[in-house]
Amino acid sequence: MLEIRLRVERPGRPPLSSFNAETKRLSLTLRQTIRAKDKGKLWISARLSIADDKIVVTTDNGAREIRPRRLYWLEQNKFLLSGIDTNSRIQRLLLRFKTPTDAERAVEAIRDAFPSVQERRPAEKEDIEVLASLLISTKAILPVVFFIVLFEMIGFIPIVLSGTINLGVVVSGLFLLSICVLLWFAINRIRKPARKLLRFVEESVMLVDRYGERELVPENILWKTAESFVLEEKVFRTKLLLTFSSSSEAARVVQMIRERFPELAQTNIAH
pLDDT for 237 equals 77
- Model confidence, pTM: 0.49
Average pLDDT, the chain: 78
| Alpha-carbon distance values, 204 to 66, 122, 212 (Å) | 18, 11, 15
CB 106 within 8 A of CB 99: no
Instruction: Please give the share of the chain, as a percent, with pLDDT higher than 90.
Output: 32
Residue 172 scores a pLDDT above 50 = yes
- 183 by Cβ neighbours in 10 Å (0-12 / 13-18 / 19+) ranks as middle
pLDDT for 1 equals 45
pLDDT for 146 equals 65
Architecture of domain 17-120: Roll (2.30)
* Listed residue (38, 46, 44) closest to 19, CA to CA: 46
Task: Residue 220: count other Cβ atoms within 10 Å of its Cβ.
Answer: 15
pLDDT (tens digit per residue) in 126-140 = 899 999 988 876 565
pLDDT (tens digit per residue) in 196-217 = 999 998 778 999 988 888 888 8
pLDDT (tens digit per residue) in 63-122 = 889 999 999 888 889 999 999 888 888 888 899 999 999 999 999 999 999 999 998 876
Assign 43 to helix, strand or coil: strand
In words, the CATH class of domain 126-135+193-267 is mainly beta
Task: For residues 219-234, give the mean pLDDT.
Answer: 92
Secondary structure letter of residue 28 according to DSSP: -
Element (H, E) at 3: none
- Please give the Cα distance from 44 to 95 (Å, whole number): 10
pLDDT for 264 equals 86
Exposure on the CB side of residue 144, measured as CA atoms within 13 A: 14
CATH 2.30.29.30 in the chain, residue ranges: 17-120, 126-135+193-267
